[in-house]
Structure 1
């Protein structure tokens, strides 16, 4: 059973585009449906981590907004961060899912129990993952993958019940 889901950012939580202006501002777009699924996972006791090669205030803010427990930015070796999480949470690699889209995600993907990617991931990732979303990065792929994991873990019905039984 998956207990921890690790996310890449650019191309996974976003469409991979960086919007830059002439004042050194950088913008990224996040899908609110992805965020909803992440929050539901956390409410039900799941752990979420972001491991990304870039560093940005935008990602730190998104982490805080969603209540994501772990964030590692500016990472050149994602497997090192994976091992830190395994030690910190006392879980096995089989209890971890990783969602990414590019070749810098391959090392960590082969180490975890379940790997997934958006449908617009690079071919080297598409050829090696356990699951390919029907959606592109930044456009609901993370939501789809979280729902799949939550359904397999018997958690999605609890999410539905919460909203169907609101008073």
Structure 2
């Protein structure tokens, strides 16, 4: 049974694009960052965490207030940003949660996800992930990063582990 989802952000929860802009605030230039998230991914994550009561973690290489806001909004219990060694962080989460690697599903798209995806019980990547990642994961999603790949992963897990009925009834 999968008890924890581990999710990368850029290229997985988003399409990988980062938009920077400058605005004037009190006569100073302020750097603004924006990212786009797919509402379908968000709804599935919220069902996973808030309705099914299961755990989710974001482990990402970059730091962003936008990601912090999104994680809180979706009920994600573990948020780690600015991480170089994602496997090391995952080991810490697994220890804190008292679960096994076989009870973890992960999704990522690039080389900094490689070790983590190689270790989890069930691994996924968006269909536009690095070729190196596509070669090692269990499932290459039909959807691209930022376009429903995380939703696809969650629906797959729910079908495989007899959670589909609970998943569908979550909003009834």
* TM-score category of the 2 structures, normalised to the smaller one: over 0.9
- In structure 1, the residue corresponding to 2:37 is in which secondary structure? coil
Provide the residue aligned with 1:46 in structure 2: 54
* CA 1:143–1:21: 2 relative to 1, 3 Å: same
The alignment yields a C-alpha RMSD, in angstroms, of: 1.0
1:50/1:72 contact within 8 Å kept: yes
Indicate if the aligned counterparts of 1:14 and 1:137 stay in contact, CA closer than 8 A.
yes
Map of 1:4 onto structure 2: 4
Residue 25 (structure 1) aligned with residue 38 (structure 2): no
1:75-154 paired onto structure 2 within 5 Å? 75-154=83-162
Alpha-carbon distance between aligned partners in 1 of 2:170 and 2:17, rounded to the nearest angstrom: 35
Structure with bigger strand share is: 2
> Normalized against structure 1, the TM-score is what?
0.95
Larger Rg belongs to: 2
SS at match of 1:110: helix
- Is the 8 Å Cα contact of residues 47 and 170 (structure 2) preserved in structure 1? no
Q: Where do 5+ consecutive residues of structure 1 fail to align?
A: none
Counterpart secondary structure, 1:150: helix
Q: Is the 8 A contact 1:52 1:73 kept in 2?
A: yes
Residues paired across the two proteins, number: 164
What secondary structure, in the 3-state scheme, does the structure 2 residue paired with 1:53 have?
coil
- Of the three residues 39, 54, 77, the one matched with 1:69 is 77
Give the Cα–Cα distance (whole angstroms) in 2 for the partners of residues 60 and 162 of structure 1: 25
1:37 aligned partner:
44
Pairwise CA distance, 1:22: 2.8
How far apart, CA to CA, are the structure 1 residues paired with 2:76 and 2:164?
19
| Superposed CA offset, 1:107-160 (max 9, x none) | 111111011000000100011100011000000011001100111121121122
DSSP 3-state at the match of 2:92: helix
Output the CA distance in 2 between the equivalents of 1:32 and 1:56.
19
CA distance in 2, matches of 1:128, 1:27: 31
> TM-score, normalization: structure 2?
0.92
CA drift at 1:46: 1.2
- Following TM superposition, by how much is the alpha carbon of 1:64 offset from its aligned partner in structure 2, in angstroms? 0.7
